[in-house]
């Protein structure tokens, strides 16, 4: 383990001992580089619901060197339902599916990290390495679609954790979910950072032909080095663009999502990303400003100190200028786009660039009138 030095933090941030003490209190102790190889989070703080917090330190016997690296572990989760409902007024969908809990992509800024605290695990390294798979997802989905009174609306997948993260190659849960949705002509919208989505281009193309599917690829940066440190196990930016081309050529409507825009780090790439995405077949675009709720804030700030210490003070100053002086503002309507002059500037740049490259000229609305509900158990089949 390496402890964060107060003098170093004060020098990097220009904030003096008070800021140094605050960051240390938030971050605790970093996990050694060999143990977290291939991960973005450098800390593994206890979840906020735990009665005790644990801090590991070197007792002088070099015993910490014997600790093994963090390896991806997958446990089976057996939920009662698979469709999650929401009534958030600033979100365009009211239902979603998450085939997995936790995400091996390890995006350091992921706003879903705090959800791991509900499992008694850390939103830090545990979120990236200790995953939960829901192999009953397809069966549960078919049961829920067949419930009396079910009204079809687009199901969003990939809104919390990525359905095409690396473990999907073995578990194939997302593939099974799509098979159920196709069988019943139910609309679906997917968000992913993975080129693995092209594995299911056969299903997606057939559904898109009926107006039932669309895919958004999240492209945070075109800088391969930045992507590797910030999103260590996600597909490279080039592969995401190629995935856009593959889907678009198969007739699947494709969007690009710049999520998140991090001021002082990747905000200068907005125009380049939109230009590239349009060239590879994207027809719609969106963006989200960096969100740092709860435990995401110390995880992100620790990462920023490790990789871009010279930018720490500038980046966090801009973030707080868009969040009312705080690391995060959860107010509906402001949490996605921020507020203040800098947030306004980002919004105008995005709009101008999207218009320049022919994006968002029309919004694709998926059909719901084709939905065929599954036959409920005990229901007499219709004779043809």
pLDDT in tens, 55-101: 666 666 665 555 677 889 999 999 999 999 998 888 889 999 999 99
Separation between Cα atoms, residue 217 and residue 56, nearest integer Å = 38
If residue 189 lies in a helix (H) or strand (E), which one and from where to where?
Answer: strand 188-192
Separation between Cα atoms, residue 379 and residue 312, nearest integer Å = 62
Q: Which of 45, 36, 186, 182 is nearest to 116 (CA)?
A: 45
Structure tokens at 203: 């299903």
Q: What confidence score (pLDDT) does residue 5 get?
A: 45
Which residues does 31 contact at the CB level (< 8 Å), separation at least 6?
A: 1, 42, 43, 44, 70, 125
Structure tokens at 39: 């991960």
* Percent of the chain whose predicted confidence (pLDDT) is above 90: 76
Separation between Cα atoms, residue 308 and residue 61, nearest integer Å = 32
Specify the higher pLDDT residue, 42 or 311: 311
Is 180 in contact with 123 (CB distance < 8 Å)? Answer: no
Is 31 in contact with 44 (CB distance < 8 Å)? Answer: yes
Q: Which of 167, 123, 80 is nearest to 293 (CA)?
A: 123
Q: What confidence score (pLDDT) does residue 157 get?
A: 98
Separation between Cα atoms, residue 190 and residue 8, nearest integer Å = 42
Full-model pTM = 0.88
Is 192 in contact with 164 (CB distance < 8 Å)? Answer: yes
Q: Could you tell me how many helices (H) and strands (E) the chain has, helices first?
A: 13, 12
Categorize the per-residue pLDDT at 37 as very low, low, confident or very high, splitting at 50, 70 and 90. Answer: confident
Q: What confidence score (pLDDT) does residue 313 get?
A: 97
Categorize the per-residue pLDDT at 333 as very low, low, confident or very high, splitting at 50, 70 and 90. Answer: confident
Separation between Cα atoms, residue 277 and residue 259, nearest integer Å = 14
Strand runs labelled E in 225-363: 254-261, 284-289
For each of the domains in the chain, give its residue range(s) and CATH number, in order of start: 76-356 (3.20.20.70)
User: In the block, which residue shows the tokens 């549960």?
Assistant: 140
Model confidence at 2: pLDDT above 50: no
* Percent of the chain whose predicted confidence (pLDDT) is above 70: 85
Separation between Cα atoms, residue 267 and residue 270, nearest integer Å = 6
User: In the block, which residue shows the tokens 């009926």?
Assistant: 210
Give 114-162 as a DSSP string. Answer: GGGGGGTS-TTHHHHHEEEE-TTHHHHHHHHHTSTT----PEEESSSS-
Residues 205/159/349/322 CA torsion (nearest 10 deg): 180
Tens digits of per-residue pLDDT, 334-346?
999 999 999 999 9
Separation between Cα atoms, residue 183 and residue 154, nearest integer Å = 15
User: What is the mean predicted confidence (pLDDT) over 293-314?
Assistant: 96
Which residues does 16 contact at the CB level (< 8 Å), separation at least 6?
A: 10
Give 9-68 as a DSSP string. Answer: HHHHHS-HHHHHHHHHHHH-EEPPTTTTTT-S----PPPTT-S--------SS-GGGGSP
């Amino acid at each position: 383990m390496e402890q964060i030095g107060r003098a170093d933090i004060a020098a990097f941030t220009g904030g003096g001992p008070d800021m140094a003490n605050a960051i240390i209190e938030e971050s605790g102790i970093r996990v050694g580089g060999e143990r977290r190889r291939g991960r973005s989070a450098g800390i593994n703080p206890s979840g906020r619901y735990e009665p005790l917090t644990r801090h590991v330190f070197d007792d002088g016997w070099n015993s910490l060197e014997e600790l093994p690296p963090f390896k991806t572990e997958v446990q089976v989760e057996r939920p009662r339902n698979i469709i999650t409902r929401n009534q958030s007024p600033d979100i365009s969908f009211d239902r979603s599916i998450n085939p997995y809990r936790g995400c091996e992509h390890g995006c350091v800024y992921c706003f879903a990290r705090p959800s791991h605290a509900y499992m008694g695990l850390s939103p830090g390294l545990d979120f990236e390495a200790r995953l939960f798979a829901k192999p009953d997802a397809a069966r549960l989905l078919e049961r829920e679609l067949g419930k009396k009174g079910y009204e079809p609306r687009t199901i969003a997948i990939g809104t919390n954790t990525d359905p095409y993260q690396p473990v999907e190659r073995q578990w194939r849960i997302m593939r099974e979910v799509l098979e159920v949705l196709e069988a019943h002509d139910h609309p679906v919208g997917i968000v992913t950072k993975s080129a693995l989505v092209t594995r299911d281009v056969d299903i997606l193309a057939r559904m898109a032909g009926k107006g039932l599917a669309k895919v958004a690829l999240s492209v945070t940066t075109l800088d391969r080095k930045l992507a590797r440190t910030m999103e260590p196990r996600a597909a490279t930016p080039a592969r995401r663009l190629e995935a856009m081309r593959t889907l678009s050529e198969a007739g699947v409507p494709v969007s690009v999502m710049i999520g998140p825009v991090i001021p002082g780090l990747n905000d200068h790439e907005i125009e380049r990303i939109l230009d590239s995405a349009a060239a590879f077949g994207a027809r719609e675009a969106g963006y989200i400003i960096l969100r740092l709720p709860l435990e995401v804030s110390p995880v992100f700030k620790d990462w920023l100190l490790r990789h871009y210490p010279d930018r720490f003070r500038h980046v966090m100053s801009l973030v707080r200028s868009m969040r009312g002086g705080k690391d995060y503002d959860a107010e509906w309507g402001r949490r996605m786009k921020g507020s203040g002059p800098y947030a306004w500037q980002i919004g105008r740049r995005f709009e101008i660039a999207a218009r320049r490259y022919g994006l968002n000229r029309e919004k694709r609305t998926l059909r719901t009138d084709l939905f065929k509900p599954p036959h409920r158990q005990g229901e007499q089949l219709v004779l043809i």
